[in-house]
Structure 1
Amino acid sequence: MATLSLTQFLTLDGVYQAPGGPDEDRSGGFEHGGWSVPFGDEDFGRRIDAIFARPAAFLLGRRTYDIFAGYWPKQTDPADPVASKLNSLPKYVATTTLGSADWAGTTLLRGDIVQEVTRLKESLDGEIQMHGSGGLARTLFAHDLIDTLYLHVFPVVLGTGFRLFAEGARPTAFRLTETTVTGAGVALHTYERAGRPTYGSYA
């Protein structure tokens, strides 16, 4: 049975929208796109390379798929660990609107996404990776389907934008298994899901 991980870039106030460029996602009038780019040093590159050394397959939301499919198939350097994995491994896209997918190795998941992802985890081995795809991630968090979080927290506050853990998120406990900080100040955290929160009192 496979595990499902989520790699997510976050601001200090929890925003994940459009980290990679001004026009990546302007939904809701978002004007802060590209906020992660100034922090992309060698430390951060090594972290991304390490994550992309592990996947057996990818699971993407529709918006993230469109962004990735517009860029990564054109990157053909076999020494690029990100491009080589994205272009060669199976990709599963959660969508109700996409009619077809030209990127080689792509399968569209059109049914109930909770059932589809449950079946996917049961039928594959290794690590299925999600990158971005915050809307899909919120749905899967609500059903305990994400096992590992690779959260990259950038030292910036934006005040607007889509947030990963929005009001009404399911109470969930995680265990911190690894943490480090890049030279540019990005906190790199790895968490494993650990059931429900426990509560106490200082009284």
Structure 2
Amino acid sequence: MRKLFQSALISLDGVVASPDSWAMQYFNDESGQSALAQLERSDGMLMGRNTYLELTARWHNDSGVFGARLAEIPKYVFSSTLSEAAWSNTTLVRRDPVTEVTRLKYAGGGDLTLYGYGRLAQTLLQAGLVDEMMLSIHPVVVGESAPRLQSPPLGLTLSGVATRRTGVVVAMYQVRQPGE
């Protein structure tokens, strides 16, 4: 069975919303290589509507190695409001995300990667479908009005920590399923 790897950008004060407005100044070659390495281990990428819109705005015409990998990897966008998903190799999924992601995990192949920490990520965490989490903690305080990291009660085991030259701390966790 495939593993589901979830990656989120987070501020020091727990903000996960709109990372394009506060996290991109910390994106450098080091973070790009890490993101590319994860995508190369994966043969499917999962996104909610907001992450899809943010990534297409930033990467859909990029001709670099990371942009090329994003273009070629099969992408599954979970949304009930998008009318189409025009980015190459993208499937718009309107069905129940828990059922569909369970089917994808059992389909075999490489890992699945989930970017962002919106409703889709929270739903999949609550359903016990996320195997690993990577939180990239950025050295910025966004402010009180932005949505914060939220989760159902969740057991995590720290599996690695890295620091980047930009001051970003990357914390890797294995998600413990209930009863473990």
TM > 0.5 = yes
Q: C-alpha displacement at 1:54, in angstroms? A: 1.7
- 2:149 is aligned to 164
Q: C-alpha displacement at 1:92, in angstroms? A: 0.5
Residue 73 of structure 2 aligns with an amino acid whose one-letter code is L
User: Matches of 1:38 and 1:84 in 2, distance apart?
Assistant: 21
Q: C-alpha displacement at 1:90, in angstroms? A: 0.7
- 1:27 is aligned to none
- 2:120 is aligned to 136
| C-alpha contact 2:163 2:169 (8 A) present in aligned 1 | yes
Answer with 1 or 2: which has the greater Rg: 1
* Residues 1:135 and 1:197: Cα distance change in structure 2 (over 3 Å): same
- Which one of 112, 118, 127 corresponds to residue 102 of structure 2? 118
SS of aligned partner of 2:172: strand
User: Matches of 2:47 and 2:96 in 1, distance apart?
Assistant: 15
Is residue 2:179 matched to residue 1:194?
no
Is residue 2:5 matched to residue 1:5?
yes
Q: C-alpha displacement at 1:155, in angstroms? A: 1.9
Q: Which of 4-13 and 153-162 deviates more?
A: 153-162
* Residues 1:96 and 1:41: Cα distance change in structure 2 (over 3 Å): closer
Q: Which of 3-12 and 34-43 deviates more?
A: 34-43
| C-alpha contact 1:138 1:164 (8 A) present in aligned 2 | no
SS of aligned partner of 1:92: strand
**Structure showing the higher helix proportion among its residues:** 2
* Residues 1:100 and 1:46: Cα distance change in structure 2 (over 3 Å): closer
User: Matches of 1:105 and 1:49 in 2, distance apart?
Assistant: 17
Unaligned residue ranges in structure 2 (runs of 5+): none
- 1:24 is aligned to none
* Residues 1:109 and 1:124: Cα distance change in structure 2 (over 3 Å): farther
Is residue 2:132 matched to residue 1:148?
yes
| C-alpha contact 1:177 1:191 (8 A) present in aligned 2 | yes
Is residue 2:4 matched to residue 1:14?
no
| C-alpha contact 1:114 1:140 (8 A) present in aligned 2 | yes
| C-alpha contact 2:74 2:89 (8 A) present in aligned 1 | yes
| C-alpha contact 1:15 1:160 (8 A) present in aligned 2 | no
Residue 192 of structure 1 aligns with an amino acid whose one-letter code is Q
| Pairs aligned (count) | 179
Is residue 2:31 matched to residue 1:44?
yes
TM-score computed with the length of structure 1 as normaliser: 0.80
TM-score computed with the length of structure 2 as normaliser: 0.89
Deviations 1:132-181 (A, max 9, x none): 1522111111111111111100122222312232xxx3211111111111
SS of aligned partner of 2:19: coil
Question: What is the RMSD computed on CA atoms of the aligned residues?
Answer: 2.0
Q: C-alpha displacement at 1:98, in angstroms? A: 1.7
SS of aligned partner of 1:115: helix
Unaligned residue ranges in structure 1 (runs of 5+): 21-33, 199-203
* Residues 1:104 and 1:126: Cα distance change in structure 2 (over 3 Å): same
User: Matches of 2:141 and 2:47 in 1, distance apart?
Assistant: 26
| C-alpha contact 1:173 1:197 (8 A) present in aligned 2 | no
Q: C-alpha displacement at 1:196, in angstroms? A: 4.2
- 1:59 is aligned to 46
Q: C-alpha displacement at 1:11, in angstroms? A: 0.9
Q: C-alpha displacement at 1:44, in angstroms? A: 2.8
